[in-house]
Amino acid sequence: MRVAVAGGSGTVGGPTVDAVRAAGHEPVVLTRGAGVDLMSGDGVDAALDGVHAVIDTANVTTLSADVATEFFTTATGNLIAAAGRAGVGHVVLLSIVGIDRIPYDYYAGKVAQEGVVEASAVPWTILRATQFHEFAGQLYDRAKLGPLHIAPRARVQPVAAAEVGARLAALAAAAPQGRADDFAGPREERLDEMVRAYARHLGNRGWVPSISLPGPQMKGMRAGAALPGPGAALGTETFASWLARQPGKA
């Protein structure tokens, strides 16, 4: 079967494309580089010709609720509309564990995106996953006070992006099921400790202070609102195992 992956060059989109191919299916990568613009809708109809299922992993880097909501509702709305016109039988959306408990900032956009999918006439599945192991490196690069890297406090249960990609590929090949079981990593971690471990892995021996970032989303994450419930399915790779495989100090 042909499976289209929106955002197929991203942190989880890339492993999803690999998992689709490994399962014996034909991946169709939907990115701007491939001539597909989800925000304008350009190229989407042509890309979905002959596609049986669509996996939506497209993302935007922002902390703004308005920006996130505009991106996710527009991009996913265009994708689903094109899927309907093409006769696609299944749309799978990657979402985030806990967004309904802390529907603020970036998470507000994901809540709105889920609403677009749930209102769709195209049969759908939504998989909520926890933060990826790569989240530590993303924060290390972005969370700074001048030249000083900081480590935001939060309770997380990170999961390997490759394991999420494999799960998305399996869901796309199966029958639509609405909300799938949440998917999380094998153990809870402290986000600030993850960021510091990442810094040390890169050879940074400087001070990386723990900081409680402002905003309702981060407050909710510090309180554990982004952790999975008891019914979640769990991956196997720990953050420590993932970090040991990453390029470090030369």
Task: Give the pLDDT score at 249.
Answer: 64
Q: If 0-12 CB within 10 Å is exposed, 13-18 middle and 19+ buried, where does residue 48 land?
A: buried
Q: Give 107-127 pLDDT, tens digit per residue.
A: 999 999 999 999 999 999 999
Structure tokens at 237: 């790779």
Q: Give 38-66 pLDDT, tens digit per residue.
A: 999 999 999 999 999 999 999 999 999 99
b/e map 151-167, b = 16+ CB within 10 Å: bbbbbbbbbbbbbbbbb
pTM for this model (two decimals): 0.95
φ, ψ of residue 208 in degrees (nearest 5) = -125, 85
Q: Give 130-170 pLDDT, tens digit per residue.
A: 999 999 999 999 888 888 999 999 999 999 999 999 999 99
**Distance from C-alpha of 20 to C-alpha of 132, rounded to nearest angstrom:** 19
DSSP one-letter code for 181: P
Residue 187 near residue 157, CB atoms below 8 Å: yes
Residue 250 confidence class, pLDDT cut points 50, 70, 90: very low
Average pLDDT over residues 72-78: 98
Q: How far is CA 115 from CA 74, 109, 182, in A?
A: 12, 10, 17
Percent of the chain whose pLDDT exceeds 70: 99
Closest by CA to 43, choosing from 57, 53, 52, 33, is: 33
